[in-house]
Structure 1
Amino acid sequence: MNNDLIKNWLEKQSALVVDGAMATELEKRGVDTDNDLWSAMALVHDPDAVVAVHRSYFDAGANIAITDSYQANIPAFVKAGLTQEQSGKMIFDSVKLAQRARSEYEQTLTDEVRQEKPLLIAGSVGPYGAYLADGSEYTGDYSLTQQEYQDFHRARLNLLEGAGIDLFAFETQPNFAEAKALVNLLQNEFSGIPAWLSFSVTDQAKLCDGTPLTQAVEYFNQFPDIVAIGVNCTAMANIEALIQVIAKATDKPIIVYPNNGDTYDPVTKTWELNPNAKSFSELVPKWRAAGASLIGGCCRTTPADIQEISASFKA
């Protein structure tokens, strides 16, 4: 699917449903994610589980599957004992597994339903901080040159493109300089391939590195291949106000996919349950009214949450 077709879908659809957490669902299937590759280790040890998770989100109503490549990068795979060739294959396969799930799901649909809305594969590109595996995607506290950022990301973008993604998902981006380097790479070496850009933010409407969200959104609004801008991996309670900030700074579709309401400690890498968290069914209508048109879930969300989002859209 080319850039213009995807832009057309994003601009004309009243809403599209993004999928939910990968690691949470893998853990339910007995996959160990407690390692530097996080959910991406399943690409090595249990690819069928990755397919099953993607399929569960399509079944729940998701229009967009995000590949299991957020923390997948060649240096991390090599460090885990794979060869360069094997490492590249894992990233390539992350797309093929999502495509397999989509194909299986499409076979259950009538032609009429299949044509109603797209089923897209978004190639996940996490930040350099995710590779560090020390919680840096929640601080943005690292600094490379533009060339170093691009050299780090280029191989993964090439592999995701080669495997046939529909668009890139530049997600959980906490660092303004890295995001600029990524988008520069997109424009110069992957022109014509659409991407959404989703920031990791504080609850004060700033990127985690301190850059005002308004400044970042206004800067990236100028790039035609960035087809949606938003935030992810933040608390549900922050989303409505963040959408309002973003809407004032861009005319692009707004994407949001927050965590499920639990609280994450990046030092201990553990979650604390929040019994007072509101449901997606309560909040999604407010997010849509504020201007979001692509909505899904990030950490700890489940197919049940995505089903709630889908039901809210239909309602």
Structure 2
Amino acid sequence: MDKLTRENFNRLPLTATDGAWGTELMKLGGASAELKDLWNVSAPDKVLQVARSYVNAGARIILTNTFSSNRVTLERHRASGRSAELSRAGAAISRQAAADRALVFGSIGPTGKLVSLKQLDIAEAEAVFAEQAAALAAGGADALVIETMADLEEAKAALRACLRACDLPVGVSFTFDSGKEKNRTMMGVTAAQAWKAAREGGASFVGANCGIGIDAYVKLARELAQCGSDLPLWIKGNAGRPVMAADGSTHYNAGPEDFSRAVPELVAAGVRFIGGCCGSTPAHVAAIVAAIENIRPSESGALSAAS
């Protein structure tokens, strides 16, 4: 397809995205407390291995290992001046893995400070996100996804900053895991509020990631779909809940078959982009790909990287 733009973004078909990065990188060694974004420079071969594993599993959208590469988060790891470096490197690694087989969506996570509670000034937040967005674009990203957002004001600030810092399509994904129905973010944001903020802010897509498992996000997807049909929906649920084994290791209790079963319901709800978050693996993504091919075989393989 032609270069991905904000104007043609809505032409993208039903697509499998990648799965977890953090839990996959942890399997490759290193201290558990070590920030894996630093590997974009110190161990790029390991990051490339994860990115390629998702492309080989059939993902036609892969993210970047830059979830924590904003300067506020990096400051807690004594690397505050490396946001641009790590973001650019992370995008370049995913670009290399994607080649002409997949699109690269630059990952932008929260700062860890609540803008709505004045823990971080809005202007400063926008500057932080703009720096990362510009670097991801320079590294070769096709689009950006602001993900795992819980604070509506932080999400709005990130969206404004990203749209100003580059000309790429930008989407926003919130994490819903609170409230009686588990359909609110930690800060009480509802699906309707999330959708409205994304739509009014100029996002190219909106959705949910992390939080609750893929099955539970089916209902959440329906709530988002009820808000309107002009924003493509993005869902990347966790592989269930983390379970600690007797030997102290942790695994997630939802397998590839659980993701496969959820795909038809997600598609029926109007979801365009389906992938996994914490605990999901290339096997989960392969199951998503197979389920999508069963639903819309004519669209299989229709997505390619920007030229």
TM-score when normalising by structure 1: 0.81
Equivalent residue number for residue 150 of structure 2: 174
Residue 20 of structure 1 pairs with residue 19 of structure 2:
yes
Equivalent residue number for residue 196 of structure 1: 171
Using the alignment, how far apart are the partners of 1:258 and 1:284 within structure 2?
11
1:7 to 1, 9, 21: 9
- CA, structure 1 residues 7+262, in 2 after alignment: closer, same or farther (shift >3 Å)? same
Alignment of 1:258-277 (within 5 A): 258-263=237-242, 271=250, 273-274=252-253
Secondary structure of 1:128's aligned partner: coil
Higher helix share: 1
Alignment of 1:226-237 (within 5 A): 226-234=203-211, 235-237=213-215
Return the offset for 1:77. Answer: 4.3
Return the offset for 1:278. Answer: 6.3
> Quick check: 43-52 or 272-281, which moved more?
272-281
The one-character-per-residue Cα deviations of 1:13-48 (angstroms, maximum 9, x if unpaired) are 1x111101112222222243423x2x2132243110
Using the alignment, how far apart are the partners of 1:221 and 1:87 within structure 2?
28
Residue 72 of structure 1 pairs with residue 69 of structure 2:
yes
Contact 2:150-2:185 within 8 A present in 1 as well: yes
Secondary structure of 1:256's aligned partner: strand
Return the offset for 1:166. Answer: 0.6
Using the alignment, how far apart are the partners of 1:23 and 1:276 within structure 2?
17
Q: 1:314 corresponds to which letter in structure 2? A: E
Alignment of 1:1-315 (within 5 A): 1-4=3-6, 6-10=8-12, 13=13, 15-35=14-34, 37=35, 39-77=36-74, 80=77, 84=81, 87-103=83-99, 106=100, 119-129=102-112, 143-187=119-163, 189-190=164-165, 192-202=167-177, 203-224=181-202, 226-234=203-211, 235-251=213-229, 252-263=231-242, 271=250, 273-274=252-253, 279-315=258-294
- CA, structure 1 residues 98+282, in 2 after alignment: closer, same or farther (shift >3 Å)? same
Equivalent residue number for residue 109 of structure 1: none
Equivalent residue number for residue 110 of structure 1: none
Q: 2:21 corresponds to which letter in structure 1? A: M
Q: 2:170 corresponds to which letter in structure 1? A: A
Number of positions where the alignment pairs a residue of Structure 1 with one of Structure 2: 283
- CA, structure 1 residues 280+206, in 2 after alignment: closer, same or farther (shift >3 Å)? same
Equivalent residue number for residue 111 of structure 1: none
Secondary structure of 1:313's aligned partner: helix
- CA, structure 1 residues 301+257, in 2 after alignment: closer, same or farther (shift >3 Å)? same
Return the offset for 1:277. Answer: 9.6
Contact 2:256-2:283 within 8 A present in 1 as well: no
Contact 2:130-2:162 within 8 A present in 1 as well: no
Using the alignment, how far apart are the partners of 1:193 and 1:276 within structure 2?
34
Contact 1:23-1:33 within 8 A present in 2 as well: no
> Quick check: 171-180 or 232-241, which moved more?
232-241
Secondary structure of 1:233's aligned partner: strand
Q: 1:90 corresponds to which letter in structure 2? A: L
Gaps of 5+ in 1: 107-113
Return the offset for 1:2. Answer: 3.8
Gaps of 5+ in 2: 295-307
- CA, structure 1 residues 304+44, in 2 after alignment: closer, same or farther (shift >3 Å)? same
- CA, structure 1 residues 147+264, in 2 after alignment: closer, same or farther (shift >3 Å)? farther
Give the alignment's Cα RMSD to 1 decimal: 2.7
Secondary structure of 2:216's aligned partner: helix
Contact 2:72-2:111 within 8 A present in 1 as well: no
Using the alignment, how far apart are the partners of 1:191 and 1:46 within structure 2?
28
- CA, structure 1 residues 100+199, in 2 after alignment: closer, same or farther (shift >3 Å)? same
- CA, structure 1 residues 214+76, in 2 after alignment: closer, same or farther (shift >3 Å)? closer
Return the offset for 1:185. Answer: 1.9
Secondary structure of 2:124's aligned partner: helix
TM-score when normalising by structure 2: 0.83
The one-character-per-residue Cα deviations of 1:132-177 (angstroms, maximum 9, x if unpaired) are 6xxx8xxx97743321211222211121122221111100011001
- CA, structure 1 residues 6+47, in 2 after alignment: closer, same or farther (shift >3 Å)? farther
